Each structure stands twice: as C-alpha cells, then as structure tokens.
Amino acid sequence: MQSNSWVPLFPEQASTFAWQVDYLYFYLILVSVAFSIPIVVAIFFFFVKYREKEKFSTPDEIHGSIMLETVWSIIPFVVSMTIFIGGAYIFYNQTRVPADSMEIYVVGKQWMWKFQHGTGQREINELHVPVGRKVKLTMTTEDVLHDVYIPAFRTKADVVPGRYTTLWFEATKPGKYHLYCAEYCGLNHSGMGGWVYVMEQSDFDDWLAGGGSNQTPVEAGRELFMNKLGCASCHAGGASQRGAKLEGLYGTDVKLTNGQVVKADDEYIRNSILNPSGQVVEGYQPIMPTFKGQVTEEQLVSLVAYVKSLNPDAATSPTTTTTAPVTTSNTNSSSTSANTKTASNPNAPSNKTEPTKSSNK
Ligand code: CUA
C-alpha cells in the first residue's frame, strides 16, 4: 500500500525533517559499525599475536606516545561533536515552531486522540492536514500521559496532564500515515492510534468546507466566556471591570503582584483559569475563583484560543489559504462525537454532501 522509503523496513519519509532524522540515525549506525568491527578484529588478532609463548616472559614497557594519544583523542572528539551538531540541529528544528504554522488542538484521553481545527472541525483518531503547510499541534490530555507519534514524519512528543506541549511538522506527500500513542497509558494503549491523512490543499479545502456549522475554538471560547462561565462579568471592559484586561494581552509580558514578569502564553492563560491566585496581575485583587473541575480540557483550549484572538497581533495564520476564511455560525456543538468526521481516502473526502459554506462570508 505504502511505498517504502529508500531504506527497506523503514516507514515512508513524509515530512520535511524525515530525511534528517534518517541520516543521523544511519550515521550513528555507521559509527557503531566502524568501531565495533575493528575492535572485535583486534581482539582476535591480539589473542593470537600476544598469546603466551614462553612462561613468565616480561613484555617491553611503553612510556606514552604523543602520536597515538592525539589520534585517539581527536577521532572520538570529531565523532561525538558531529553527533552533537547533527542532533542539536534536528532538535532545534523540531522544537521551534515556525510562527506561520496552522494550529490544531489535540486532546488525548484513554484511549483516543481528539483533534480540533482552527475552523472548528473535530476529528477522533484521524487527522486531516494539507500537504506543504506547517502544522502546529497544541496538545494536552484529560487523564494520563500520552505521546503523539507519527513515524512517517519522524516526530513525536509527550502529551502531559496539566500543561500544553507542542509539536510541528510539514508533510511532504499526500497519503495515509500511521498515528500512534507512544507512551504506555493503560490497558488499551496499543489500540490508541489512528491515521494522519495528508491531502492536497484543494482537497483539504473541500474537506474543511464539508464540515458544516461547527463552532470554531474561538467561538466556543467566546460563548463560554460570555455566557456559560460568566467570565465577562469581571473581564469585559467598562465600569464593572474588576478582572485583568484581556484585550491585547496574549504574547505580552505581564507583571504580577509579586514583582515577577511572565509571558502571557497558552500555559499562562490556562494556569490563570485553573489557579488564579497563583499569578495575580499587578493592580488587581485576588478575587477570581478557580475553575478547576468546572472546565474540560477542550473548553480550556477554546478559552485560550478566545483570549489569544483578543490580540490580533498574536493570532496565528488562517487555516486555509485558497478559500475565504471559513467563519461559521454559532450552533450548539458541545458534543464531541456529533461533529466528528471520518474519511477513508484522503483524495476522496467523505463529507462532500452539501458543502455548507460559511454563513456570513
Ligand atoms: Cu495513550 Cu498510550
């Protein structure tokens, strides 16, 4: 079904850094082989050459050799530094998420992966992404530690309870690729996985357009903020504003009452909702109640997306490039499974029925 990479038994190379990881891996194998074989050969050679020929003979003493010591210092130095440089290059590449990435939210739970696109589409155990676009996954979990692993992209990252982790990739060829959980997380760990569908941008746009009227994370967050959780009663502007100002907050430095300065990133906003007294902004009273236990991880993700949207400078790039931004109408879509899509062929989006385009474009 899938064509292999240039190495037999290896998964396909389907992301921009797949070949880098493979080259580093083969370099490590090469180094291992290049040391192992001469050492084993030398062992046998010396067995024979220096075997005991006469009883109680004393060998000649050797008092150092600058040449020899220089060689056996420089060679390992060069080898270990090339491994370090190669590894550091790949590490920086994979951990520093490009600013123009398209963001997808991921919530893991025993035993499934839940995805939500910036335009609102939700998926379970399937992830549709366009080819040649940088994709950023912002990830957390409802229960225990999991780990997103996409072998064809040569990338993986832990998904940790109580915080956000990120992972990014740029897929290089359309196709269907395995998605695994790579951290033992209980009974059905081995079954916690699915597929990543990499599609041409036009197919991806069709697929997105077929989503109907899902709430985007920003819209869901706004609804929670304005109505369900009542955040607006303190945080909305005007005379009754008692909570910190959120407009233009995201990505800026915030000064706390204890003098500390922190960056208002995803993690900070999440912590402010769950543990508000831990980071009180200078000039405000610690009157905000905690929302721990009252909001799900998916709702938190939506709230973070909403607060992020209040600072247009920090907003991430739109999800689609070739079509108008799919802004969808507000319908009640708190159910996860109801809006979940399935598609078995990346080139034939399954939800082509009645592409309900945006209601207010
Ligand atoms: Cu989730 Cu293993």
Sheet holding 102-109, edge to edge: 165-170, 134-141, 102-109, 112-117, 122-124, 340-341
Establish whether residue 181 lines the binding site of ligand 1, counting it when its CB lies within 6 angstroms of any ligand atom.
Answer: yes
Beta bridge partners of 140: 107
Cβ–ligand 1 contact at 183 (below 6 Å): yes
pLDDT recorded at residue 244: 77
Report residue 260 CA to chain centroid gap. 28
- For ligand 1, say whether the CB of 184 is within 6 Å of any of its atoms: yes
Distance set, CA 302 to CA 2, 174, 185, 219, 235 (Å): 36, 29, 25, 8, 16
Distance from C-alpha of 361 to C-alpha of 355, rounded to nearest angstrom? 14
- CA 217 to centroid of ligand 1, rounded, Å: 25
Amino acid of residue 259: G
Question: Can you tell me which residue has the tokens 């991806």?
Answer: 204
Q: So what's the pLDDT on residue 347?
A: 43
Q: Which ligand 1 atom lies nearest to the CA of residue 190? A: 2
Whole-number Å distance, alpha carbon 200 to ligand 1 midpoint, is: 30
What is the CA 186 to chain-centroid distance, rounded?
Answer: 22
Q: Which atom of ligand 1 is nearest to the CA of 192?
A: 1
Specify which residues 149 forms β-bridges with: 156, 180
| Number of the ligand 1 atom closest to the C-alpha atom of 183 | 2
User: With a 6 A CB cut-off, is 112 part of the ligand 1 pocket?
Assistant: no
Residue with tokens 């040391």: 35
pLDDT of residue 118: 83
CA–centroid distance, 342 to ligand 1, in Å, is: 21
Q: Is the dihedral of CA 293, 252, 90, 150 positive or negative?
A: positive
pTM of the shown model: 0.64
Looking at the CA of residue 145, tell me the nearest atom of ligand 1: 1
CA 183 / ligand 1 centre spacing (Å): 5
Q: Please work out whether the CB of residue 106 comes within 6 Å of at least one atom of ligand 1.
A: no
266 lines ligand 1 (CB under 6 A): no
Nearest to 272 by CA among 231, 313, 220: 231
Q: HSE on the CB side for 251, CA within 13 Å?
A: 13
pLDDT of residue 7: 62
Q: Tell me, in angstroms, the distance from the centre of ligand 1 to residue 109's CA.
A: 8
Long-range CB contacts (< 8 A, 24+ apart) of 255-258? 255/281, 255/282, 256/280, 256/281, 256/282, 257/281, 257/282, 257/284, 257/286
Q: How far is the CA of 174 from the centre of ligand 1 (A)?
A: 26
Ligand 1 centroid – CA 242 distance (Å): 42
Q: What b/e string do you get for 18-35 counting C-beta neighbours within 10 Å, with b at 16 or more?
A: bebbbebeeeeeeeeeee
Contact 177, 18 (CB under 8 A): no
Measured CA to CA in angstroms, residue 260 lies from 148, 254, 267, 284 at distances of: 34, 8, 16, 14
CA of 159 to the centre of ligand 1 (A): 9
Smallest CA separation from ligand 1 atom 1, residue: 146
Measured between alpha carbons, how far is 173 from 285 in angstroms, rounded to an integer? 53
Q: Which atom of ligand 1 is nearest to the CA of 185?
A: 2
Q: Does the C-beta of 189 come closer than 6 Å to ligand 1? A: yes
d(CA 98, CA 93): 9
pLDDT tens column, 66-88: 999 999 999 999 999 999 999 99
Cα(172)–Cα(167) distance, rounded to whole angstroms?
Answer: 16
Q: Note the pLDDT of residue 106.
A: 93
Q: For residue 191, how far is its CA from the centre of ligand 1 (angstroms)?
A: 8
Task: Render pLDDT for 21-41 as a digit per residue (tens, 0 to 9).
Answer: 999 999 999 999 999 999 999
Using only C-alpha atoms, the chain has a radius of gyration, in whole angstroms, of: 27
Q: 157 C-alpha vs ligand 1 centroid, how far in Å?
A: 12
Residues of the chain with pLDDT under 70: 1-7, 211-214, 237-240, 314-361
